[in-house]
């Protein structure tokens, strides 16, 4: 036992994700940096891995170049900056103002600081793998926001072994938690899955909608503030705003066709309406631009809008997505240098990163629901350093009324969230150097008990070791599904593992203890499902055989594979909940080789070898033939997925709910069949106490173990009331045929058709 304890302790030590002091003290920063820029650069350098979320015109270019220069001097290795098209050349030009050389490159060069475009990153893969770079900077890092994008995955993978990292953008979406998670994952602070498990929760029926846990409302923003600086103006860090006062912004809605609030059922309806109104909108915009002698930016959304605008505005240049990189760069730089009066393009082409303070007029012809695109496009001109009032014209037809309202709503929401984040940075505003201490779960133990039950707070491996040999009559539980759901930041949490292999290394410390405490001849039931893989996490879309791995692991520990029940789940509900591509009906029309069935649950039951000294005998009244035939079915089609303790014992919104509690019907059926009244039931992963709640309500004794303190508290409350309340609804044990599985038919096809 001592040797086992030592091996388990060593395993947990290996799991520890220790925070290191990655950075170093910066020396001799450029004199031309403002005080707040120096403070942020010093902090980012000492942090080593940091994010600068500073509004447009606050000098992110100076800060990131100064940071890169410090890394080069400290490591004697190169730094690579990655930026949008044309921003690279602008950065080269700006860096000369603070006497730092930055070399633009489309492939590897032997220069201290290189800058390239996102489109060219693959040309640097070999040099990165050869350890040429000690630092990497992402300029306009909001490119990381899309979780399933190839660019995000490529950048995170490419920079994985680069020690110093800086992420810079003006507009991380403060209400887009997944984008913030991607920023943290790129920097190596914490991966997205771990971030979600620490601070967020969702109900099993809404896995795509994450919300901050009730008790994490403040902690999340404090954590975010510990590795990122988010400022709208220097005074957010207690510095003077004297040199950073924005000019007036005049936004004018130019309405065409009567402003009627139109609604459309589909995007196709809206696009058809936009096409019909194109000539009116384009003509009005061209009149505004042609009546001015000033430089003008014209933003559009459609190619036909861009083409017609270019025809109607003689002294304009059109930058299209189909242009070569060289053509785009030449046209954009011609406008930047003042050689072209009017530039017509889309926000997604040139709306990020460029400094165009020399221009103070722009027009939008055609709107998008993306507030970020609109905001960024306006900020190309309306930024610190602009000396004139900026005039923005929204040329909108009645068909775009709802879009404009939506943009304004998102603007208000973004401002609220941004102010919330800045508020939580108040503790850091008094410091010029910010420190981060990664929050770690402290291992706590406790025990509560009541009539016929005991509940332990602690690690199930450690607690089960203290239980007597052959003291458990039956055990039923749903283990952590590898890393599909991570419940805490504790290294003792079996769901908190970086790899699938590490999960099994951890789980295999528990199975032998379960085998020891279970009575000979008695059973243990494990609820599970096969696990969907994802492109982002696993590199491919498919299914992992989690069920099979559980069977093999229990057999390897001496258990006999006793039985299995397949639990039917509605694929329509699964599709609505997960949006899995393989379940979407439209995939049939694209390529049905990518279609698949829904993923059922399983109840796997294992028996400990030996004679059962306490036979489980049922009377005919307790177990009529019809009931037994129902239980004996290998496929249970009537388990109600929503019949859980979360629902039955509803709590306040800020109280934490279990991510995926086991269904009460399922628990009751297993306990009813495989245990007797007075038997002791073990749940080693208690959660909110579902298995033990049913055990107590059916006359059994209960022992449970829970690692997470918040769940432990909720479970103890639930068990305290289990005996005192009327029996919950556990199903009527009659055969209920699911309407989707009616005998003799397959949808609209008759059985005889096959």
Name the residue ranges covered by the structural domains of the chain: 17-237, 249-426, 451-739
Mean predicted confidence (pLDDT) in 48-70: 92
Separation between Cα atoms, residue 692 and residue 698, nearest integer Å: 10
Mean predicted confidence (pLDDT) in 198-208: 56
pLDDT tier, 612 (very low <50, low <70, confident <90, very high otherwise):
very high
Instruction: Check whether 732 has a pLDDT greater than 60.
Output: no
**Which residue has tokens 């080693």?**
684
Separation between Cα atoms, residue 719 and residue 562, nearest integer Å: 30
CB 753 within 8 A of CB 726: no
* Mean pLDDT, the chain, integer: 82
Instruction: List the end-to-end C-alpha distance of the chain, in Å, as a whole number.
Output: 60
Percentage of the chain beyond pLDDT 70 is: 80
CB 415 within 8 A of CB 666: no
Instruction: Check whether 31 has a pLDDT greater than 60.
Output: yes
Give the model confidence (pLDDT) of 486-497 as tens digits.
Answer: 555 577 888 777
Q: Which pLDDT belongs to residue 641?
A: 83
3-state secondary structure of 563: strand
Task: List the beta bridge partners of residue 449.
Answer: 454
Phi and psi, residue 170, nearest 5°: -85, -25
Q: Which pLDDT belongs to residue 82?
A: 94
Q: Which pLDDT belongs to residue 741?
A: 37
Lowest mean pLDDT among 74-83, 418-427, 626-635: 418-427
Lowest mean pLDDT among 168-172, 217-221, 275-279, 336-340: 217-221
Of residues 476, 576, 606, the one with CA closest to residue 204: 576
The DSSP symbol for 480 reads -
Top-confidence residue, 382 or 429:
382
Q: Which pLDDT belongs to residue 376?
A: 82
3-state secondary structure of 344: strand
Of residues 87, 30, 37, the one with CA closest to residue 58: 37
Mean predicted confidence (pLDDT) in 706-718: 90
Top-confidence residue, 467 or 500:
467
Class level of CATH domain 451-739: alpha beta
Q: Which pLDDT belongs to residue 566?
A: 96
pLDDT tier, 210 (very low <50, low <70, confident <90, very high otherwise):
low
Name the strand (E) or helix (H) holding 450.
strand 446-450
Mean predicted confidence (pLDDT) in 223-231: 81
Separation between Cα atoms, residue 108 and residue 106, nearest integer Å: 7
Q: Which pLDDT belongs to residue 751?
A: 31
95-99, 345-349, 740-744 — most confident range: 95-99
Q: Which pLDDT belongs to residue 426?
A: 56
DSSP annotation string for 481-498: -TTSS---S-TT-TT--S
Separation between Cα atoms, residue 568 and residue 565, nearest integer Å: 10
Give the model confidence (pLDDT) of 521-535 as tens digits.
Answer: 999 999 999 988 766
CB 654 within 8 A of CB 710: no
Mean predicted confidence (pLDDT) in 573-578: 74
Mean predicted confidence (pLDDT) in 144-156: 73
Q: Which pLDDT belongs to residue 653?
A: 46
**Which residue has tokens 């400290």?**
74
Q: Which pLDDT belongs to residue 740?
A: 41
What angle in degrees, to the nearest 10, is found between the helix axes of 278-290 and 303-312? 40
Q: Which pLDDT belongs to residue 735?
A: 38
Q: Which pLDDT belongs to residue 696?
A: 95
Separation between Cα atoms, residue 104 and residue 97, nearest integer Å: 16
Strands, E assignment, 148-303: 164-168, 200-201, 211-212, 228-231, 249-256, 296-300
Instruction: Check whether 569 has a pLDDT greater than 60.
Output: yes
Write the CA distances from 629 to 237, 438, 623, 740, integer angstroms.
70, 54, 10, 21
CB 514 within 8 A of CB 684: yes
Instruction: Check whether 616 has a pLDDT greater than 90.
Output: yes
CB 607 within 8 A of CB 649: no
Residues 6+ apart with CB under 8 A from 291: none
630-634, 637-641, 644-648 — most confident range: 630-634
Q: Which pLDDT belongs to residue 280?
A: 87
- Assign a CATH topology to domain 17-237: Rossmann fold (3.40.50)
Measured on CA atoms in the order 399, 404, 407, 408, is the torsion positive or negative? negative
Instruction: Check whether 450 has a pLDDT greater than 80.
Output: yes
Question: Ramachandran region of residue 703, left (φ > 0), alpha (ψ -120 to 50) or beta?
Answer: beta
Give the model confidence (pLDDT) of 277-315 as tens digits.
Answer: 888 889 999 999 999 999 999 999 889 899 999 999 999
Q: Which pLDDT belongs to residue 182?
A: 83
Separation between Cα atoms, residue 243 and residue 240, nearest integer Å: 8
Instruction: Check whether 179 has a pLDDT greater than 80.
Output: no
- Assign a CATH topology to domain 249-426: Rossmann fold (3.40.50)
DSSP annotation string for 568-584: ---HHHHHHHH--GGG-
Of residues 639, 615, 627, the one with CA closest to residue 735: 627
**Which residue has tokens 């800060």?**
63
Domain 17-237 matches domain 249-426 at the CATH topology level: yes
Of residues 260, 282, 555, 272, the one with CA closest to residue 402: 260
């Amino acid at each position: 036992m001592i040797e086992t304890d030592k091996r388990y302790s060593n395993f947990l030590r290996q799991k520890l994700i220790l925070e290191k002091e990655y950075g170093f003290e910066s020396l001799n920063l450029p004199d031309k940096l403002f005080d707040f820029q120096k403070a942020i650069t010093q902090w980012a350098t000492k942090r080593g891995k940091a994010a600068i979320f500073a509004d447009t015109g606050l000098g992110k270019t100076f800060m990131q170049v100064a940071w890169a220069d410090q890394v080069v001097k400290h490591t004697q290795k190169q730094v690579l900056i990655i930026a949008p098209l044309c921003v690279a050349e602008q950065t080269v030009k700006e860096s000369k103002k603070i006497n730092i050389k930055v070399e633009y490159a489309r492939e590897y060069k032997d220069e201290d600081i290189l800058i390239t475009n996102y489109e060219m990153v693959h040309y640097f893969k070999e040099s990165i793998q050869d350890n040429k770079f000690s630092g990497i900077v992402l300029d306009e890092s909001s490119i990381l926001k899309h979780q399933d994008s190839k660019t995000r995955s490529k950048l995170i993978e490419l920079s994985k072994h680069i020690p110093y990292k800086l992420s810079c953008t003006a507009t991380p979406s403060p209400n887009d938690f997944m984008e913030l998670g991607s920023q943290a994952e790129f920097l190596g602070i914490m991966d997205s899955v771990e971030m979600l498990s620490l601070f967020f929760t969702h109900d099993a029926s809404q896995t795509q909608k994450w919300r901050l846990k009730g008790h994490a409302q403040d902690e999340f923003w404090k954590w975010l503030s510990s590795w990122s600086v988010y400022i709208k103006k220097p005074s957010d860090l207690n510095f003077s705003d004297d040199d950073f006062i924005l000019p007036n912004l005049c936004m004018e809605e130019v309405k065409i066709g009567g402003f009627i609030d139109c609604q459309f059922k589909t995007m196709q309806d809206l696009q058809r309406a936009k096409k019909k109104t194109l000539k009116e909108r384009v003509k009005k915009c061209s009149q505004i631009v042609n009546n001015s002698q000033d430089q003008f930016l014209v933003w559009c959304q459609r190619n036909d809008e861009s083409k017609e605008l270019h025809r109607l505005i003689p002294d304009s240049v059109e930058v299209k997505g189909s242009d070569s990189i060289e053509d785009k760069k030449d046209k954009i730089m011609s406008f930047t240098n003042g050689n072209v009066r009017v530039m017509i393009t889309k926000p997604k082409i040139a709306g990020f990163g460029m400094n165009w303070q020399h221009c103070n007029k722009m027009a939008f012809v055609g709107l998008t629901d993306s507030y970020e695109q609109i905001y960024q496009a306006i900020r190309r001109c309306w930024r610190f350093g602009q000396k004139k009032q900026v005039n923005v014209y929204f040329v909108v037809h009645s068909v775009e009324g709802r879009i404009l309202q939506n943009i304004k709503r998102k603007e208000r929401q973004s401002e609220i969230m941004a102010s919330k984040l800045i508020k939580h940075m108040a503790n850091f505003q008094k410091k010029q150097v910010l420190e981060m201490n990664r929050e770690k779960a402290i291992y706590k133990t406790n025990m509560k008990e009541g009539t016929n039950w005991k509940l332990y707070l602690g690690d199930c491996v450690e607690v089960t070791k203290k239980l007597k040999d052959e003291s458990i009559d039956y055990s039923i539980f749903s283990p952590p599904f590898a890393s599909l759901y991570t419940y805490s930041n504790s290294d003792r949490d079996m769901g908190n593992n970086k790899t699938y292999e590490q999960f099994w290394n951890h789980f295999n410390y528990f199975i032998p203890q379960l085998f020891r405490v279970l009575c000979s001849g008695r059973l243990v039931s494990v609820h599970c499902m096969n696990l969907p893989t994802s492109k982002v996490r696993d590199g491919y879309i498919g299914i992992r055989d989690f069920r099979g791995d559980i069977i093999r692991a229990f057999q390897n520990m001496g258990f006999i594979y006793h039985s299995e029940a397949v639990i039917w789940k509605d694929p329509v509900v699964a599709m609505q909940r997960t949006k899995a591509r393989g379940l979407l009906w439209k995939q049939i029309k694209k390529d049905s080789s990518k279609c698949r069935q829904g993923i059922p649950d399983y109840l796997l039951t294992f028996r400990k070898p030996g004679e059962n000294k306490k036979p489980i005998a049922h009377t005919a009244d307790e177990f009529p033939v019809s009931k037994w035939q129902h239980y004996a079915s290998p496929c249970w089609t009537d388990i109600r997925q929503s019949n859980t303790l979360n629902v039955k014992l509803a709590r306040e919104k800020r109280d934490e709910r279990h991510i995926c509690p086991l269904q009460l019907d399922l628990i009751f059926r297993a306990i009813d069949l495989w245990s007797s009244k007075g038997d002791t039931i073990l749940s080693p992963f208690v959660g909110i106490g579902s298995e033990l709640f049913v055990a107590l309500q059916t006359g059994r004794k209960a022992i449970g173990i829970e690692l997470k303190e918040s769940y432990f508290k909720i479970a103890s409350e639930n068990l305290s009331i289990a005996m005192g309340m009327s029996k919950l609804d556990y199903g009527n044990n009659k055969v209920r045929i699911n309407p989707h599985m009616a005998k003799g038919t397959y949808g609209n096809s008759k059985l005889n058709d096959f």
